[in-house]
Amino acid sequence: MRSPPLDSRLRTPTPRTAVLAAAVLAVPSVLLLLLVAFSWRPLLALDGDIARTTHRWAVDEPGVTHVFRVLTDWVWDPWTMRALGALVVVRLVWRRSTWWPALCVAAACVLGTAVQQSLKAAVGRARPVWPDPVDSAHYAAFPSGHAMTATVVCGLLLWLLQLYGAGRALRRTALALAVISVVGVGLTRVWLGVHWASDVLGGWLLGALVVALAVVAHERRFGTVRG
């Protein structure tokens, strides 16, 4: 079955769905932030157990570790993801003249970066330290910038495909790639010993929250938007 072109009439989403999703995501996001900020001991203990186990694997499996470093430093790097988001914004504006969705995507990417860097500075969580590190990273640990940026960009792309009525095969392929990217980048950060597991979880939750807020912003103006 032929899928409708991207410049067809935008599909009308359900406003309450995005608002509910944002509200649901906000609760665990704030809760995890508080637990990390106040150094809740059970969480720190769990993070430590996971980190020690995965670091041992990383040291014992240098081949896998090398592959993960390539993926996290090049394929799933935040700047790679932001470049992908920028290309989507340019295409929306230049080829389709869809200013409002393009603005929502651009604003969400900027917001995600601002929230990420602000929380890193405010929480100031130290990264794991190892006597035999397999990788290194800068800035504070919480939340994971790699995990949050991948979630924001991949989530926005999936939303756009749904919004413009892309074919089922394309949406399923995109969903599979998005899941692999978002989950994969989070796992690589923990495996490489540069993030605690809760840093990655926080990145995922906050990234999904930013996407939900972008969808809410779009729906408030949807009645004036055409592809």
Is 55 tagged catalytic?
no
pLDDT at position 5 is 44
| CA-wise closest residue to 196 among 186, 207, 205 | 186
Is 195 tagged catalytic?
yes
Residues recorded for the chain: 227
Catalytic residue among 55, 66, 138, 195: 195
Cβ within 8 Å of residue 91, ≥6 positions away: none
Whole-model pTM: value is: 0.91
- Alpha helix ranges (H) inside 61-193: 62-70, 78-96, 99-123, 145-163, 168-191
| Helix H or strand E segment including 37 | helix 15-37
* Dihedral sign (CA 65, 202, 111, 17): positive
Contacts of 212-216 with CB under 8 Å at 24 or more apart are: 212/18, 212/21, 212/22, 212/25, 213/22, 213/108, 213/111, 214/104, 214/105, 214/107, 214/108, 214/111, 214/156, 214/159, 215/13, 215/18, 215/21, 215/104, 215/159, 216/15, 216/18, 216/19, 216/22
For the chain (227 residues), the mean pLDDT of every run of 10, in chain order, is 44 70 96 98 98 98 98 97 96 82 95 98 98 95 98 97 93 98 98 98 98 92 49
86 vs 64: CA distance, rounded Å: 31
pLDDT at position 222 is 66
Catalytic residue among 55, 138, 146, 218: 146
212 vs 23: CA distance, rounded Å: 9
pLDDT at position 8 is 43
